[in-house]
Amino acid sequence: MVHRQLPKVGRTQNWRWLAMLVLVPAVLSTAGMVWPGAAIEETLTRRSEEALTEARITWSGLEVRGRDVRVSGVPSGRRAEARERIEAVTGVRAVSALADGSAGGGLSIIPRGRQLAVSGIAPDEQSARLLLDAIRERRDGREVVDAVLVAEGATLPADRALIAEVLAAVPERTATTVSMYWWSDTLLLTGPVIDEQTAVDLRTAVRAVLPAEVLMEDRTWQARLGETATFGAEAFQETVSATLADGGGLRFAPGSARLTASGAETLRQLAALLRVAPGMPVTLHGRAAGGEADLAGARAEAVRAELLDQGVSGSLVTMRSSVDAADDSDVDVVDVQIG
């Protein structure tokens, strides 16, 4: 369930709705793609917010359960329009729009490449400025895009120093893919991660700096087809290298172009990773002992052929081979380079 609470915004703030419209997150799914429940709820939440923002309809809370949307705090006379706008969102099944809703502090921090889009409600201009300054100081020079509105009586969901500290604790591998949504007692993490270990590392790092009274809800999901490209070649290389190291590498029997049993299992795991990154260039570097250049090339070709058999696109898989003269070199493997 995705549930956000935002204070009502007065008419004096209408001029800033354009900023919100520009910074509403892009739709993450396409029609017909089956995603985990958390991803569906997140997508419908963003689409619904975009629809309301475009119509300049204010609201104080928006909650998605499955494909049903409940929006509260809608001004009198605009509930019917709010319902119609959200009903037109692809994927929404049912909508309820209420005039009254609880007004609580809310904040969203959404990565967009080298930018962080910060949206929410602050009680005054100084509070908004101090919050953004604190985030800028802790985010390694990344551009922070201001979409924070000001409304009298609003409250931030947490101390600005804590918000910045939690952001700084997010591991680099997830800093460009995972969004944060704050309420006074809850921090929601959502977005694609490369693998389960990455999700564990994210939860551990954030929980370590988060006060015990703040609930952390993890709604991340393992990247599906095409999503892995959002991580970049360097981060994906780390995951591939870890997979190879854990499995002992794409290993061959000495003097042979046939994978060992452990090498074949490692290749199967590698193929599973590469299938969700169809646009990521891959170079296979076959190795062999000195004087066995043909064997090095045959090993790279054997790995490429097996990857293609397991559903990896062959258009971006290239090969190299080399021979190693040093006696202590690990020559019975094929290395994998991403990018």
Q: For the chain, what are the domain ranges?
A: 1-102, 104-224, 229-338
pLDDT-based confidence at residue 35 (cuts at 50, 70, 90) = very low
pLDDT-based confidence at residue 264 (cuts at 50, 70, 90) = very high
**CB distance 135 to 107 below 8 Å:** no
Task: From 329, 327, 302, 311, select the one nearest 319 (Cα to Cα).
Answer: 302
Task: From 53, 113, 61, select the one nearest 85 (Cα to Cα).
Answer: 53
pLDDT tens figures, 188-210: 898 888 778 888 999 999 999 99
pLDDT tens figures, 267-315: 988 887 777 665 678 889 988 887 788 898 899 999 999 998 888 877 6
Assess whether pLDDT exceeds 50 at residue 143. Answer: yes
Q: DSSP state, 236?
A: H
Q: Do domains 104-224 and 229-338 have the same CATH topology?
A: no
Assess whether pLDDT exceeds 60 at residue 229. Answer: no
Segment 137-144 shows an average pLDDT of 75
The CATH architecture that domain 229-338 belongs to is: 2-Layer Sandwich (3.30)
Q: Which residue has the higher pLDDT, 31 or 14?
A: 14
To the nearest whole number, what is the mean pLDDT of the chain?
77
Q: Which CATH class is domain 104-224?
A: alpha beta
Q: How far is CA 232 from CA 56, 146, 172, 220, 339, in A?
A: 36, 25, 11, 18, 9
pTM, 2 dp? 0.47
Q: How far is CA 63 from CA 38, 42, 66, 67, 131, in A?
A: 13, 10, 10, 10, 25
What residue type is 134 in one-letter code? A
**CB distance 192 to 236 below 8 Å:** no
